[in-house]
Structure 1
């Protein structure tokens, strides 16, 4: 089959959109795979042919393919070309709510990944040994999860986040995005609008879509903080009070009170996504759960603490809602195995999770200092945002250097650095910035990523310097 004939789905790129062209292209190709328009094993055009057909640079086409490689949609066959991966025919719900491992030959600086550095291997082995010594269950898993894990998560949230929730129950899921989707389904949001903190990880918007709702952004001020207004006709707001990637902006006490007041006044609900990679604060702010009680559900997971493969998350829901959430979990068969739940319970009760979080805080702080020191010579041309989400640095670029162009050029060099625009809902304006996730990178990979980023930024500003006589 000729390359010109190997792409049979229509592609439409909006050059006026704030979403980079390569991300638009990757999203449309991924949707074509999800919808069955592109079957597994289907050969795709070369990047040169695709760029010519769509009238874009080859860097855009290559960067889009790299995104799809990293997400498990595509595979390369030596001497033959690029094909839809054999694993790409999994159900869309599974793929959109989980992030496949990146290709080994890429340096993927996308935040939210786990690190193997200083991994507590002895504790990990002990937990699985403990779980394997337990006799198998004589019946099906309890609908809400193993009692020992539910209690261990409950104590973990009380100890590390100060959550006192006697009227709430812990339910076990396979991850935070899945938890968001199950809570929204239990609240009956299908066909309705759901307010989502913006910017935030794309998995949040995907979870809203999976629940059959439409995500709309919570209005933000110039600094990216919520303005205190919830869009009309939104019965639920999905937020992370303690700061989601990429900005890590913590919701102040006043905004928390406003959100709790809105939930009580408008008969609304709040889904609070817990960020377990953030070290507990010495002076914690008031918790939404304590301010709005039965109007708040907390979701989270442990994917960045140990490994995404563990696939264990939780929902802390009021008893009046817990039964509906359990039914949604059961309907979606969204339960980790009994062995995995038992191992996680051991890791929590023995204090290994808390110790791991403290260790990660030190690792992230050290790497953050390396990133900022390495990029300092490029200032004031670039501007580094104040420390926010641990393990992430937001790099604001000058107007003449477009973030999507730098992203595409880095993709050609084997380095994936997302743009800030990719964390916004479609149509939302975004600052001209890159999001450099570094906490999960080895020292060698971090040096490679920084070296390539500095080289691209210096090459981009060289013409400007010559034009200015510098």
Structure 2
């Protein structure tokens, strides 16, 4: 029995090691049905462990059906336990596939990732205090299953907040609380794409949209974007789109704001095509020149589906977003939400409702706008100081990122790897484009979660490679 290797330095209990060995041998067919196992005394003696350890391992195997006891005869491998692991094993996913990195060679990596707020500025103490009050004061029903569309309290508060700050026109009944914007987009796909249809999207647009909407039978029709957002005069004249996906208040990634003329043209086009417009308003609260731009939804609430998220305002860890639908789609969307995950976590919704109602969100946004404007200005100064007239800066009026275009540079995989080797991670615009040739000189630089010192050092390192 010495063929069972025992690792006493491992954190895994000895009985689990014995159990795991037999389980693997049985599943793989090395120990076939009817094969006798050694007695507990014999195995304990051979492995120099307590008999109780072996007994516990055997009891676990017996409880899970791997072995059976025959009265007066011993313990044997049970029938029906062989599994062809070579055929049934799931493919392993490389760790690199779970990250967005080009490489991880530098220990002191400065990551200009976009869409990440200043994580150290989350109002932890206040949030904790509100959470304590909610847990102490709320009714017992709040600890049970919630409504798929979200808590009544949060939807009522959010409808008022969005009307006041973004010009969104809706009743609380039109709101569905989601676990982030990604779930909202998934719900839209399930809601509007049965059987597969045409979707008009901006180009470039976040690469996740390409994935989420690339369903069997679905066609993505890209419309180029410039420094003012989607070029609506290039909307296709033929076809029958199911919906148009846009980021009008802060085009991702180029940063343009869709002017009213193009908004009118877009709504007129959607009306003539009898399709919906999906407005993704992911970070427009942080506008540094004037007040935030009013929503597209406010111009045509019956045709525009509005998506919002608290990942950029507060923290991605909250996993809290929302979807505002025309009334005709609400009931079906609630059913799809219920089938997806029953409901978004209830206590976090109540905390967020109290956070908004108490005016804390307004104060937090005002505070963060000052911080992000300072970091944005510092990044622009660092780019100009390092690259002078060889850099053009785009899309810097809103949000947590800007785009830098470099004269004479092409961001190939080799150049990106070289930049990362120097300890800086940047993100090419071309990754998000269907027509990649137009954007090969451009990179996205997020600054929300970087201090001024890290920004300065990151641009210095970038300059040492680019120049």
TM-score by length of 2: 0.72
Most deviating of 184-193 and 348-357:
184-193
Match 1:310 to one of 296, 309, 318: 318
Question: How far is 1:119 from its partner?
Answer: 3.1
Residues 429-469 of structure 1, C-alpha deviations (whole Å, 9 max, x = no match): 325111111122133432332221121122xxxxxxxxxxx
Q: Which residue of 1 aligns with 2:439?
A: 430
Residues 69-108 of structure 1, C-alpha deviations (whole Å, 9 max, x = no match): 63499999xxxxxxxxxxxxxxxxxxxxxxxxxx995322
Q: Work out which of the two has the higher radius of gyration on C-alpha atoms and give 1 or 2.
A: 2
Q: Distance in 1 between matches of 2:111 and 2:423?
A: 8
**1:277·1:360 contact (CA, 8 Å) conserved in 2?**
no
Q: Distance in 2 between matches of 1:72 and 1:456?
A: 18
Q: Which residue of 1 aligns with 2:99?
A: 70
Q: Which residue of 1 aligns with 2:80?
A: none
**Cα–Cα, structure 1 residues 204 and 69, in superposed 2: closer, same or farther, change >3 Å?**
closer
**2:411·2:428 contact (CA, 8 Å) conserved in 1?**
no
Q: Which residue of 1 aligns with 2:277?
A: 270
Question: How far is 1:121 from its partner?
Answer: 2.7
**Cα–Cα, structure 1 residues 212 and 324, in superposed 2: closer, same or farther, change >3 Å?**
farther
Most deviating of 424-433 and 323-332:
424-433
1:187 and 2:192 aligned: yes
Question: How far is 1:312 from its partner?
Answer: 0.7
Question: How far is 1:426 from its partner?
Answer: 6.1
Match 2:400 to one of 378, 391, 394: 391
Q: Which residue of 1 aligns with 2:252?
A: 245
Q: Distance in 2 between matches of 1:111 and 1:211?
A: 30
Question: How far is 1:414 from its partner?
Answer: 3.2
Match 2:181 to one of 172, 176, 182: 176
**Cα–Cα, structure 1 residues 337 and 224, in superposed 2: closer, same or farther, change >3 Å?**
closer
**1:367·1:391 contact (CA, 8 Å) conserved in 2?**
no
1:348 and 2:363 aligned: no
Match 2:133 to one of 126, 130, 133: 130
Q: Distance in 2 between matches of 1:105 and 1:128?
A: 35
Residues 251-301 of structure 1, C-alpha deviations (whole Å, 9 max, x = no match): 110111111112222111011111345346856666432333311110111
Equivalences, count: 374
**Cα–Cα, structure 1 residues 130 and 210, in superposed 2: closer, same or farther, change >3 Å?**
farther
Q: Which residue of 1 aligns with 2:92?
A: 39
Q: Distance in 2 between matches of 1:72 and 1:406?
A: 14
Q: Which residue of 1 aligns with 2:243?
A: 236
> Which blocks of at least 5 consecutive residues in structure 1 are unaligned?
1-35, 45-64, 77-102, 459-470
Matches within 5 A, 1:106-255: 106-133=109-136, 134-137=138-141, 139-166=144-171, 169-209=174-214, 213-220=218-225, 225-231=230-236, 232-255=239-262
Secondary structure in 1 aligned to 2:383? helix
User: Where do 4+ consecutive residues of structure 1 move more than 6 Å?
Assistant: 72-76
Q: Distance in 2 between matches of 1:149 and 1:352?
A: 14
Question: How far is 1:152 from its partner?
Answer: 1.7
Question: How far is 1:417 from its partner?
Answer: 0.4
Root mean square deviation of aligned Cα: 3.1
**1:144·1:326 contact (CA, 8 Å) conserved in 2?**
yes
Q: Distance in 1 between matches of 2:454 and 2:180?
A: 27
> Which blocks of at least 5 consecutive residues in structure 2 are unaligned?
1-88
**1:149·1:342 contact (CA, 8 Å) conserved in 2?**
yes
Secondary structure in 2 aligned to 1:171? strand
Residues 130-160 of structure 1, C-alpha deviations (whole Å, 9 max, x = no match): 3322244364211211111111221121111
**1:111·1:391 contact (CA, 8 Å) conserved in 2?**
yes
TM-score by length of 1: 0.71
Match 1:440 to one of 436, 446, 449: 449
**2:430·2:436 contact (CA, 8 Å) conserved in 1?**
no
Q: Distance in 1 between matches of 2:420 and 2:278?
A: 35
Q: Which residue of 2 aligns with 1:416?
A: 425
Question: How far is 1:188 from its partner?
Answer: 3.1
Secondary structure in 2 aligned to 1:305? coil
Q: Distance in 1 between matches of 2:358 and 2:312?
A: 19
Question: How far is 1:328 from its partner?
Answer: 1.6
Q: Distance in 2 between matches of 1:173 and 1:124?
A: 20
Residues 170-221 of structure 1, C-alpha deviations (whole Å, 9 max, x = no match): 1111111221221232123542121112222223323323697443312335
**2:202·2:230 contact (CA, 8 Å) conserved in 1?**
no
Q: Distance in 2 between matches of 1:418 and 1:181?
A: 25
Secondary structure in 2 aligned to 1:220? strand
Question: How far is 1:386 from its partner?
Answer: 5.4
**1:361·1:390 contact (CA, 8 Å) conserved in 2?**
no
Matches within 5 A, 1:321-332: 321-332=329-340
Question: How far is 1:334 from its partner?
Answer: 6.5
Q: Which residue of 2 aligns with 1:369?
A: 377
1:294 and 2:302 aligned: yes
